[in-house]
Structures are given as structure tokens and as C-alpha cells.
Structure 1
Amino acid sequence: MNTNLNVNKPETILIIDDTPDNLNLLSGMLSNAQYKVHLAPSGKLALKFIESNLPDLILLDIMMPQMDGYAVCEQLKNSKKTQDIPVIFMSALDEILDKVKAFSVGGVDYITKPFEAQEVLVRVENQLHLKRLSKQLINQNILQERNRMAREIHDTLAQAFTGIIIHLGAAERMITTDAEQAVFHIKTVRELAKDGLAEARRSVEALRPKLLEEGDLSSALNRIVKQMSSQTETQIRFEVFGAAYPLASEVENNVLRIAQEALTNAFKYANANLINIELIYEATQLILKVKDNGQGFDPQSLCLSNGFGFLGMRERANRMGAKLTIESAIGQGTEITVWIQPF
């Protein structure tokens, strides 16, 4: 029976076992199921092989000389290169404590020897199926992020370049009849180009995960505030309340991007002289607040669903399962609040 559903490219399975009979039995079984199989008679040889040949899944015996399966799995999970490879333990040990230890060091499943061929095939396929789904989800998230960046770049740069084209056309028409007006249009083009370049740099900076790699969420936000403060006379206050705790990397990234977009909106559209940013760590939730004292707008207007970064902020909040509110009124500023369940 062929249980390998990924027929376009055979998935590779590494079997690590010091018993030749087990290697031969499992190799024949999985090869017949159209998987590509590699064999390793010891943990050390397996780790050496994996350095240049990453398998899609590993079947790992526990009781081996010199280096047992637990030690092999721990070493795999401690490396960024191999930590995502699913490991299924195989052992004659059937005590609960043995199984608990196998899962605690990073195993995803446990097969007790002697094993049934059909059970091995089903368990292998289940884990590979989960890995495929995970990869699809990652690819979908990458596509969504590309689409978001495309919308953001369009929103921020299209207006600048459209203005440049219009003013260059006007300058061309007036260059021989009204030199003063032509110079005015050329100066306007220069300002639009400078603004467009600044927006392009900001978009490129937003693509870099360095801010979070070099520190936590609050330090990343603080750096963004300092960078933006140096470009404007608007006063920005950033405060952190409560004891900070670690968040999932995707959550931190989404919170950071929402704060960036909210801050950018306040700079570009609010005409504010004061922006307050608060990061509030509570036991059951993290709260982000971005409030300005600018001109405000009608919350029922179309800008909440079309442009100005609001759509991107809502998409990020939805991705985290967070709640996002936007409160504003003409002449009374704008406040954006996000409630995030951290765990």
C-alpha cells in the first residue's frame, strides 16, 4: 500500500538504529511506500550525515551504544538547521516514563517494538502530512505579507510619483512661457521625490526583522520612536507599564508592525504635535495604545477600510486573534488600541 501522498518528489526518511534487521525491515517497508530512505547504524553517523543531507522525517531508536536516541534528538532540537525535522522514536521500552522523556526532548511520536508495518506507515504519513500543512501555512503567511507590503508601498509611493509626473508635465509646458512657474513646479518635484525616497526607505526598514532580533518588543519600539523623532518636531512619548514577558515571535512582529503603521499614520495625516505610545503588560493580556492630539477624522469614513494602513493593521490583529479599535473625532485626535492574548 502506498501511503506517500507527495508523489511529485519522494520525501526522505532517515532511519537511525543499531540493529541491522530493523534497518532492513523498515527500509524495505518505507521504500515500497515510495519514500526515499537513508540508513544510519549509530547516532554519531546520523548526525554527520544530516550535516549535508536534511531528511523530511527521522525514525530514531532509543537504546543505542555510545549515544542513545534521547541525546541524538536533543542535539537535533538544539540546532536551528534541524530543529523542525519531526522525530518519531522507536523502542522496546514501553514504560510511561520512557515515552514522557521521548516527548520532552522533542519527539513527535513514539512507536513500540515490535511494530506493525501498517502502524509505522500511518504514523510516518501523519507526521509528514502535518509538516506539509505547516509549510503551506508558512507560504501563505509569506504571500499575505508580500501583499500587505505591496499595498503599503502603493499607498505611500503612488501619490508621490503621480505628483512628480504631473508637476514635470506642467514644468515642461511652462519652461518657455513662464520660467518662474516652471521653477516652482521643479522645486515641488524635488520635494515629492525626497518624500517618496523617505517612504521607500521606511518600507525597506519595515522589512528587516533586525529590530526584534537585537532586542525585545519594547526596545524595538523605543528605537523606532527615536528614529522617527529625529525626522520631525512632533513630540513622541513612549511608556511601558508592567513587567515585560516574552511573546511568540509572530505576535511580537505583528504588534511591532501595527505600532509602526499607527505611528506613520499619525505623522502623515494627523497634523499632531504630540503622540503617546503605551505598551501595557497585564497578566492575561498585552495592550498597545497609540494616541495623537491631531485633527482626527470620521471613523465611519472609507479610510478605515481603504488605505492609510488601517486595513493592514486589522489584518495583523485578526491574524493574532487580537481585538483592535480605532477611536477618533474631528478635531479631537485619534486613538488606536490593540488587546492581545499573549498565551
Structure 2
Amino acid sequence: MSPASAPDPASPIGNTAAIASGAALVRVEHLSKEFPAGSTGIIGGKKLSIKAVAGVNLEIAPGETIGLVGESGSGKSTLGRLILKLLEPTEGAVYFDGRDLSTLGRAELRALRRQMQLVFQDPYSSLNPRMRVRSIVGEGIEIHKLARGAEKERRIAELLAMVGMSADAMDRLPHEFSGGQRQRIGIARALAVNPRFLVLDEPVSALDVSIQAQIINLLQDLQEKLKLTYLFIAHDLRVVEHISNRVAIMYLGKLVEIASRDEIYLNPRHPYTRALLSAIPTIDTAHRPERIKLPGEMPSPMNPPAGCAFHPRCPYAKDVCSSVEPKLETGRGGHAVACHVFPAP
């Protein structure tokens, strides 16, 4: 992948100082989500549930990009949808610009949805194959009554130009475009209602490597131009390094480490973070880290282990790890870690 321009870690946009000042645009408190998964018996059996997200606390400052990383099944996409209130939490609360989303009425929430949008992972299934680009991008403009007639047409053409597409794309169907072009259309659709916050759910994972860099650069340019805030969900740490100000590591529904981009990549604390970083391919043989191979697979979210959820796979686990759940504690420079063996610095 070609390097995208990385954000300046010293920038006031989205750094830990902004969070400390209470300037969070998005705040998540003790957020949990369980999905019913049947029961152990036909009559009177124990009800089972999938613990997709468990007690997450997170803050995102205006203009910041937080990269949310973890294996498939760790709860990343569920957390993104909970923040957007596309799913109702089992416990906890989400605040957007200081407003508790659970207290908003239907009309208030609909108005607020303009400010929070989602870019999907799959550019093929996320676009209606029977709708032309004009309708796909203009749908949100119509729903929120932002423009009509010639003004709406002008706005659609402007949005397409903003994402690197020509106005003649308006009359074409999704199957006439490549994957990268489709994702640009998806981004234009998300921007149509002038949002402040985007959840980017693995927006480049389905694209070729050369196209990934183009989309990442586009997202960075749009963020600077439109003053956007991103939650960037991914499993590819190479991509996350290029776009993020801070990085949050998620394992089995819980955040196990949060720190600035440089801290995560230069001074990882949690053993899971270290294992993920060691798996990044590199051609630099002189500085190639030793690959940390984790035994087994991620435990089932229906029956998570006691204590630290990572302890059955952790090469450094101690007795306390199997019985006491570590808290996510914040150390120097806002570096937060949930680990008994390698606590926050």
C-alpha cells in the first residue's frame, strides 16, 4: 500500500489534550450489547446471549480520527452501530455533542442523524443496484429537505466532484462502476446531509491495495476540508497507522488498550496489541519484529472466560489473569491499558 499522509500527532485536532479538556464530540459510557441466542433447553432452560460489546467507555474529540482495531468478531462494527443508535444498547449511554441519545424523541433523533453517518464496508452490497447515482446520493437530501429541483442537482454534482467523480455519473447504475468508484459514491451519499461525524466500517478492506491508498487520502482530505470526526473501524493496522490520531484495540467486546497512534506502534503494552503489530507484513528484514503466534481462537462471546478474556491465549498470563478482570486504567500521556502484567505506563 502506498503511504497516505499521516496526521500530525502534535496537532490540536483530536489529541488527548482535547479529550482532557472535556471537548468530546462523542462520548460512550459503560456501553454494552447482548443479542439473544436461544436457551439451553426446550422448556425452562437457561437463556443464552451473545455478549457483543461489554462495558465500553470511549471519547472522540472534534476533528479526531480514532482507529478501532480487532479481529473479526471482536465487536467493532456493533460498537459503531450502537454509537449511531442503529442498535439499542443493553446497558450504557451514548452522548453526541453533550446530548444523551436515549433521551431524544423520534423527531429530535431524526434531526440529529444528519450529523452522524455511516460508510459501509462492502461497496457492492451497500448500494441499491436498481437506483441511479442521482437517487442514491440525493436520497438523504430529499429526506431531510435540504434542497429541491435544480439546487438538489447542483448539490449532487458538487458531492460527486468532492469525491473525485464526474457529474455524468449521476445517470448511471452501480454495476457500471468499479469497487473504488462505488465506495466514492458511498462516501458522497454519507456527506450529502452535511454530517459532523462518520463511522467508517472497514471502508477499504474490500478494495485493491492501490485503491485503498486513494480512498484513505480522500478521507483525510475530506476531513480537513469539512472538519469531520471519524471512527475508523479496521483490522488492518497498516491502514489504521496512516489515518488515525489515536488507536483503540478491541478484544471480545472490550477495549484493552487506547493510546495515540505513535504510542500504540512504538510502545504497545497489551500482549494482544503486540501480537497484532507483529503480524504486520514488512520488507524491512533488519527491523522485522518476531512474530507472536497466538494459540487457539478467540473465545465464544456466548461464554467468555473469567478474568481477562485474553488470558487463554496470552503467553504472559499469570494466575490473577484467570480470575480477576483487569480494568482499563489510564497512565502517562493518556495511554490506557487493561492488563495485570503490563499496566499503563
Q: Same fold (TM over 0.5)?
A: no
Tell which structure's C-alpha radius of gyration is larger. 1
Q: TM-score range by the shorter chain?
A: under 0.3
More helix by share: 1
Q: Which has the higher contact order (CA 8 A, sep 6+)?
A: 2
User: TM-score, with normalisation over the residues of structure 1?
Assistant: 0.21
User: TM-score, with normalisation over the residues of structure 2?
Assistant: 0.21
